[in-house]
Amino acid sequence: MRGRMLLVSLAMVVLAGCSISKAVQQPKAKDLSVLEVGTSRDRVLVELGQPVVSEKDANGNQTDFFKFIQGQSGTAKAGKGILYGALAVTTLGLSEVVVNPVEGTAGAGKEMQIKVTYDAQNKVNVVEVLKDERWIHVQKVGTAPAADPASAEPKK
């Protein structure tokens, strides 16, 4: 009997790590404030990576198409990990039956597709969101993250 309890306890501890691991290993959130009008193309490329497609129009203006997974901030990932850990401990691992599949689908990063057109000086001119699968829009495209109120003020 004692051996069986030890085996069950060990299984609960191992299973409890699944949702926690999924939560903290989500992709990093991209800083969408780089899509603000006037930002240099180089800065956009550093944050979003290489575009899927890049083309020039008849006037020589560059247009980039980006496709990426918008992840979550480090604070959100840590908070979810702590919450899932507490749930696993208080329910003796039973919460994993619900939390693990939920984190695998709803908690995963969401795909975004964005078209960015630059002016003659290679500064962001027009941004068009082609696809945004995020459920909650924590940061709007072209604005500073909500966590930093000072950077949310418009530039003069």
Per-residue model confidence as pLDDT tens for the chain (156 residues): 666 766 566 555 555 457 677 666 677 889 999 999 999 999 999 999 999 999 999 888 999 999 998 887 677 777 878 888 888 888 887 778 777 777 766 667 788 999 999 999 999 999 999 998 876 665 667 666 554 444 444 443
In a domain, 156, yes or no: no
pLDDT at 104: 67
pLDDT at 54: 96
In a domain, 82, yes or no: yes
In a domain, 155, yes or no: no
Chain-centroid distance, C-alpha 71? 1
How many domains, in total, are found in the chain? 1
Residue in this structure with the two tokens 């995020």, named with its chain if needed: 134
What is the DSSP secondary structure assignment for residue 151, as one 8-state letter?
G
Asked whether the whole model's pTM tops 0.85, one would answer: no
In a domain, 83, yes or no: yes
In a domain, 80, yes or no: yes
In a domain, 123, yes or no: yes
pLDDT at 12: 54
φ, ψ for residue 54, nearest 5 deg: -140, 130
In a domain, 86, yes or no: yes
Domain carrying residue 57: 2-149
Q: Do you know the residue count of the chain?
A: 156
Distant-in-sequence, close-in-space partners of 109: CB < 8 Å, separation ≥ 6: 26, 27, 69, 70, 71, 72
pLDDT at 149: 42
Report the interhelical angle of 74-90 vs 96-105 (nearest 10°).
160
In a domain, 43, yes or no: yes
